[in-house]
Amino acid sequence: MKKLTETIKISLILFLITAVAALLLAFVNMKTAPLIEINNQKKVTDALNAVMPEAADFEDIEIKDDTVQSLYTAKDAQGNTIGVCGVAVTKGYDAGLTTAVGVDTEGKVTAIEIISHNETPGLGANAAKPEFKEQFKGKSAGIEISKTGAKDNEIDAMSGATLTSRGVTNGVNAVLDMAAEILKEGK
């Protein structure tokens, strides 16, 4: 009987500790979630400005797509459409490879920006370096990766990070495809 009471007492203490910890975590989450969302939106806004710096405004386009998370019409100061920007989330070596892509009215990439990733430092993380990102500039839909020297509508894969190279390219191609539809519709 004494052993049973001791077990119940320990169980209740552990339950109380767990309940207090859960309540504290919920409180911290409630307080930090809006700040995290603001910071994430700022990252996206900064990335959109980086891939389409001449845009004065970005109008959200409602989409439903697994890869392209958001799409925007880029407008100049007079309200003219100067392109389409999109944010794609793909998988490189790891999931969560988030890339912003700018596309001009002729369907060519103006620039890309890596917003976030979980790629291997020194390998896939090199996707955020200018040498890799600049390869996409001026490319059009259907970009391929090459391990032996890029030609025409290809980019050079990063050595040791082919999965990351493919993930970024898949995201860029997804935005290019959706941008082509939007530009064709004249939105």
Predicted confidence (pLDDT) at residue 187 exceeds the cutoff of 70: no
**pLDDT at residue 155, as a whole number:** 95
Q: What is the pLDDT of residues 34-47, one digit of tens each?
A: 988 888 889 999 99
Radius of gyration of the CA atoms of the chain, in A: 23
Q: Is the pLDDT score of 1 beyond 80? A: no
Closest to 141 measured CA to CA, from 182, 187, 94? 182
Mean pLDDT of the chain: 93
Q: What is the pLDDT of residue 49?
A: 95
CB-based contact 126:133 (threshold 8 Å): no
Q: Strand ranges (DSSP E) for the chain?
A: 57-61, 68-75, 81-91, 95-104, 109-116, 144-146, 154-156
pLDDT tens digits for 67-97?
999 999 999 999 999 999 999 999 988 888 9
pTM summary value: 0.81
The answer to whether residues 76 and 53 touch, using CB atoms and an 8 Å cutoff, is: no
